[in-house]
Amino acid sequence: MAMGTGPIKPNGDIQEQGPHALESAIMMCIMHNYRERLSLVSAAQRLLNDQLEELVRASIQRLREADPVYQQVSDKSLNDQMRKTISLTLMRITDEPIPVSLASVAFETGQLRAIQGVDLQAVLRSFRIDLRVLWEAFLADAQTNGLGGNAAYLSELVGVWEATEVNINEVSEGYRIATDTLNQQTSELRIAVFRRLLDGPEGDSRIVSKLLSTLTFDPSESLFCVVVDLHESEYSLLSACQARLSQRGIKNYFSWHGQYLVGFVQSRAVNEDFLMVLLTEFHEYKSGFTEVRIPTTVRSAVDNTRTLVAALKSPGLHKLRQNWLTAFAYAEPTLSRAIADDVFFKFEQLTPYARGELLATIQAFFDTDGTVSLISKNMFRHRNTVRSRLAQIEELTGLRLDFPRDIAVLAVAFSTIKLND
């Protein structure tokens, strides 16, 4: 229907002349609008037959000037698709049967541009440029054929907009479906790569580097491995954490593996302390992390960090490097228990109070690197009391606290005691 007023329309005088006069006036209006429609169809046919290449060149030129993103699309691809979409628009206006080769071209263009990585807004901008070019061409044709001052004909040009909108709807649908498919394929690929990375054999740096690259990580740079005792139902916490990382441009990938959430984080701007801040949601859960400096150690880093998390008794984000003994005691229960029994068997003869005081002294010894003055300060005990208890520990354990090897044995034994308390 025309969006304007034709030169002939029924009025009160015609109605008063009787039903035949009114019917005649209505028929004249219909015929008049039909003539305008035929004029529009003729104009579309002229443009399709005589000016198609010119229209395509004009659209491509304007598109490249308006949107640099199309520099990544080849001339041939852009020219072929533009010719097809403009032809489709003009054929929609002519109401002629659309050939099979053109019927789905808008939909296919949407799919193609999604695969090429062109942003949807840029794709839609292309079709709106088509509309402007066609609109100007129809106006110029109207002037040439004496229709420039015909309001009824000009109102029929809304058909150009309607035909373009049909194309836009189809290209949007094609783009959406292709994007959903690509996202699904990418997600499935990354999940498979992630599992291969965690379950596959270590040692082949070429394979590990390729897997890390597929997950968008740089295999030549170190990254952090994170393990969290987080159930999949708490996905919203992971989303919040990932949003924070992504907002700062920090590469990350997380997925559930077994009963744990496992992830990788990579950025030169992130050190261990900053990572603790970035992963704030994980502090409420048993979690750990370690830095992976060599790509081929990714799997062992995950396994070791997972062992630490399994050994933890309370929530918190822990560095594996500061908790190796806890992880070792949990991973080697038979051996570590034997070491603890050998070192602390005489402690069983003490009263609960005396035993507790000596164990607290050992804890303070490791917390302060064995400095008597700091142990005294931390425990609110006199220095002589501290020296006396350290001497008692040496006597009961048979270890010298000034021998590095004996300190190492005591550290393993003490970690085992804490783990099993």
**What pLDDT sits at residue 167?**
92
Q: For residue 97, give both structure tokens.
A: 């049967």
The CATH number of the domain holding residue 140 is 1.10.490
The CATH number of the domain holding residue 256 is 3.30.70.600
226 SS3 class: strand
**What pLDDT sits at residue 33?**
62
45 SS3 class: helix
**What pLDDT sits at residue 29?**
43
**What pLDDT sits at residue 2?**
38
Cα–chain-centroid distance for residue 245?
A: 11
Of 132, 154, 176, the residue that ends a domain is 176
* String of DSSP letters for 103-119: HTHHHHHHHHHHHHT--
Question: Is the domain of 370 the same as that of 281?
Answer: no
**What pLDDT sits at residue 64?**
87
Any residues with CB less than 8 A from the CB of 291 and at least 6 apart, and which? 222, 223, 224, 225, 272, 321
Question: Is the domain of 137 the same as that of 62?
Answer: yes
Any residues with CB less than 8 A from the CB of 203 and at least 6 apart, and which? 296
Question: Distance between CA atoms of 339 and 337, rounded to whole angstroms?
Answer: 5
Q: For residue 363, give both structure tokens.
A: 């804890």
Residue pLDDT, tens place only, 350-397: 999 999 999 999 999 999 888 899 999 989 999 999 999 999 999 999
Question: Is the domain of 87 the same as that of 110?
Answer: yes
Q: For residue 376, give both structure tokens.
A: 């005294």
**What pLDDT sits at residue 15?**
47
Positions of the chain with pLDDT lower than 50, given as ranges: 1-12, 14-32
Q: For residue 157, give both structure tokens.
A: 């040009």
Q: Is the dihedral of CA 311, 314, 316, 322 positive or negative?
A: negative
Question: Distance between CA atoms of 43 and 37, rounded to whole angstroms?
Answer: 10
Q: Tell me if 3 is assigned to some domain.
A: no
315 SS3 class: coil
**What pLDDT sits at residue 35?**
82
**What pLDDT sits at residue 244?**
93
Domain count, the chain: 3
Question: Distance between CA atoms of 254 and 278, rounded to whole angstroms?
Answer: 14
Question: Distance between CA atoms of 90 and 53, rounded to whole angstroms?
Answer: 13
Q: Are 381 and 329 in contact (CB under 8 A)?
A: no
Q: Is the pTM higher than 0.75?
A: no
| Domain assignment of residue 304, given as a range | 207-321
**What pLDDT sits at residue 32?**
45
**What pLDDT sits at residue 139?**
93
